[in-house]
Amino acid sequence: MFKTPCSRLSGLIGVSVKRKLVQNVPRCNQTARSLIQLYRRDPTNWLTYQHLNFLKRQYVTKNKSELHQRAVPKQAPVLTILDEREDGVERQVQRISTIDPVVSQPEDVTSKTQAEISDSKPTAEDVAAQNASVSSAVSKRDETPYVHVESEEAKEARLDRQWKEIKVNVTDLPDIYARLAKVKLTALVVTTAAAGFAMAPVPFDPLLFFVSCLGTGLASCTANSINQYFEVPFDSNMNRTKNRPLVRGQISPLHAVSFALACGVPGVALLTLAVNPLTGFLGALNIFLYTCCYTPLKRLSISNTWVGAIVGAIPPVMGWTAATGCLEPGALLLGGILYSWQFPHFNALSWNLKEDYSRGGYRMMSVTHPGMCQRVALRHSVGLIGLSALAPVLDVTTWTFPLISLPINLYISYLAFRFYHKGDRNNARKLFFCSLWHLPMLLLLALTCKKPRRDPEDAALPSASSAS
């Protein structure tokens, strides 16, 4: 058989490669031995299996959540080369005396002055003695643990910050009940109810008048107490109401509700049984409108002002029905006067308290619709002039009443116009204080101009004389 040129060439290459490998085996063995010796001399600079395993742990791969994270390679520490020749150089070390008064220095150390310590090199015995003294002082200090003694004032302050049972002082209850019932607002309600009773064209009954005012006042206390019970979290955000009894925790909510029931049940029962059922129904309706309609609407819509005006217009109607036992146009006229008066009064008040109402989350006209707040106050101030002129038409007063009440009605309308034109705090304050004396003055003028009551006997006399 004859060999091809390619086979002869490959055979020659293989023989030459084998020859060179045989020649390089000793050299490779020598290189391997040198590498092993180098590794044994400085193994920290070589990459071993532990290094590879560490890098494997630092590399995290999570395919499902597509998380790929690789650790940042740590920088190689910079090694400082120290010259061994500096080890023999003596260095002067200055020791700083301790400032801890508990640790006492040994006698041999404290006897030296600071200059001697700084000039002389400390010996090993001195350092050991100082360390032993420090450790003994620390051990002695640890053996006597520090006992914290709490003073009475600190204890009371700590207990005040914790939940505790409310303790009510009996002597403080009258003041708490007065603020819970909003005694000033209740007095205004009773005054308007008394005006309605006095304006009724019937003989005046003092006992019935007293019972009517008492029942109306108790119903007002109930409505105001339940209103504060519902508005505790919102009153706490307002400067005007943050000192109310329920907000400050002077009484419990159960106590407040019990007080409201103790006033409401006898009040409505007194109006229903001792006066007449119509007046009792109006008293119960007023409590319902104030607590269940006006109170939640304050945080929902500006219509709460109109609902609150209806609540304020019912007491004079209750006074009229308590005297007459029926609902007449004169009662509705007095209710209309109270209804219109409340808009300049409350809108001027809420204008200067709009930041407070906004902080409490109440939707008042002064907060959400300031322009409407000014227009409504002016509109109802002018409306008081027309309602006063309507009184003699309905045979409630004489024609003198529209004339003598015109100056005060024009004045409050003038202040309402300035409030509408400028809309500042000064004019709102003037309108509010004017409303405080305007209503009592208007009711007093209406009472002085009340139309004389004609008895049935007097009405029968002219008819009898004409028949004869």
Residue with structure tokens 């045979």?
395
What pTM was computed for the model? 0.62
b/e per residue 15-52 (b: at least 16 CB within 10 A): eeeeeeeeeeeeeeeeeeeeeeeeeeeeeeeeeeeeee
User: Which of 53-62, 291-300, 364-373, 382-391 shows the lowest mean pLDDT across its residues?
Assistant: 53-62
What are the structural domain ranges in the chain? Answer: 169-325, 328-456
Residue with structure tokens 């003041």?
175
pLDDT in tens, 231-280: 888 888 888 888 888 888 888 889 999 999 999 999 999 999 999 999 99
Query: Is 70 exceeded by the pLDDT of residue 313?
Result: yes
Helix (H, G, I), strand (E, B) or coil at 424: coil
Q: What is the pLDDT of residue 11?
A: 65
User: Which of 28-42, 405-419, 420-434 shows the lowest mean pLDDT across its residues?
Assistant: 28-42
What is the fold, at CATH topology level, of the domain defined by 328-456?
Four Helix Bundle (Hemerythrin (Met), subunit A) (1.20.120)
169-325 to CATH, choices 3.20.20.70, 1.10.357.140, 3.90.1530.10, 3.30.465.10: 1.10.357.140
What gap in Å lies between CA 229 and CA 257, rounded to an integer? 7
Long-range contacts of 382-387 (CB under 8 A, 24+ apart): 382/413, 382/416, 383/340, 384/337, 384/340, 384/341, 384/409, 384/412, 384/413, 384/442, 385/409, 385/410, 385/413, 387/333, 387/336, 387/337, 387/340
In whole angstroms, how large is the CA radius of gyration of the chain? 49
Whether 169-325 and 328-456 share one fold: the answer is no
Which of the two residues, 228 and 27, has the higher pLDDT score? 228
DSSP assignment letter at 60: E
Q: What is the pLDDT of residue 352?
A: 87
Q: What is the pLDDT of residue 370?
A: 87
Whether residue 361 contacts residue 301, with contact meaning beta carbons closer than 8 Å, is answered with: no
Q: What is the pLDDT of residue 465?
A: 45
pLDDT in tens, 69-80: 444 455 555 444
What gap in Å lies between CA 209 and CA 187, rounded to an integer? 15
DSSP string, 397-422: B-THHHHHTHHHHHHHHHHHHHHHHH
